Structure 1
Amino acid sequence: MSEPLPRFQVVPRRPGLPPRGWLVAIGVAWLLTLAGTWMLATWLAEPGLGDTRAKLRAAERTVAQQKRQIDELDQRLVTLARSDQISRAANTELQSSLAERDEEISALRADVAFYERLVGSTSQRKGLNVHSIDFSPTEAGTWNYRAVLTQNLNRGAISQGQMRFAVEGVRAGKLATIGWDELHNRADTPGQDYSFRYFQELTGNVMLPKDFTPQRVRISLRGGAGSVEQTFDWKPAGSGGGT
């Protein structure tokens, strides 16, 4: 019969292994050391960190201010560019207007010189007369005309009546005349009225057939002072003496 096992068993302690309590104590001490080190580092870095934050905030304010200044400068630049564009356009328009005024002044001076020659004491006395007639082509294929009528024989009298003209030339290899009605492409076209004391400029627009080559212009004036007929050579944008 075997003997019963004892209730308690004695285990001898191994040499060299610390008790579990010591391990826990060492771990707690290590954690406390880490916490102390973190607190010490935080305390030591706090003054420098505050300065850095202050500098950061100052830098952010500076950047915001500079951005506002840049936006203002951009807006000012746009305004100046627009103002310069408006000034250039106004200057161009002014130069164009001055050129037109110079042309008008030149034309008025020419008219004054013509008037002085017409009514001057040394001018030749003439009754109702066609001084000149000019033709200039248009983009539409028609012709603008400018006729100048004069009289200085009876000073103070008013010359009134109507002007008509016909264009003589060559059409389809034959001599032809384009009358007043055909020039206006309308039947029974009334003559152009005139009424002046010393001179008057009459202007208008006529159409010539495409197969017609003009050579002369025969002008007739009909009015209370009598009738006048004169012939001029066809000279575009020029004038010729009447016959």
Structure 2
Amino acid sequence: MASRPPPRFVVRPHDAGGLRRRALWLGAGWLLSLVLTGLVVGGLVRHATPAATEKRQLDALAKDNDDLRQQVANLQRATQVGDIATRSLRQTLAEREEEISGLRADLGFYSRLTGGDAQREGLKVQEVRVQPVASSHAWNLTLSLTQNARRGEDVDGTATVSVEGLRGEKVVKLDWPALGDAAQSSGIPFRFKYFQQLHATIVLPADFRPTRLLIHAQPSGDEAVSRAVAWNDAVSGHLTPTQGEQDAQP
């Protein structure tokens, strides 16, 4: 029996449900694309509005402001540290200057005492210092007198002090009798071979502003020695070896 050839056409039943499902999927996809497109467009529109632009600008300005505040704070701290370091350095320099001044005074004193300065032999007013007495117009006075050791003999005499200053608008000079103790009206006595410190208390008028001290040391049988010292230098004790002095030569 001869075989039958396959048929040229195949008849299949029509699937209406599959077509509907495909159409529904296509419709859902199209709607979803529309929604996504609307969201994207809406976001772009919102970012492009003036309010959004101003907000971004404000945010940027706020950030810049915070950065500037931090920089100012850093600079202020750096300035404070620099000020503290400067004050410390100035204080150290002042202390060193005071120390050097004291060492120079000591050097001059011992050089004078041992005869290291042959051109200035004889009596000398080495140091002048005044210190205030609390709750009064009185001042404690200290005078240091020296003599070159080469002389090898005692020197004696008296020392007096005058004070120049302002009283109102006038320059006034207060001599020793108006300043010193009545018991030492003729002066402060001294007698020494090498050096001696003299002490006294002077009283200044309440309306008197001192500017300068005039020291006068009169040794027995020899020429007097005078020295002028600024009041502020006498208060601080910083005196230079040649500041206003006129020492008698031997």
- Structure with max Cα Rg: 1
Normalization by structure 1: what TM-score?
0.49
Normalization by structure 2: what TM-score?
0.48
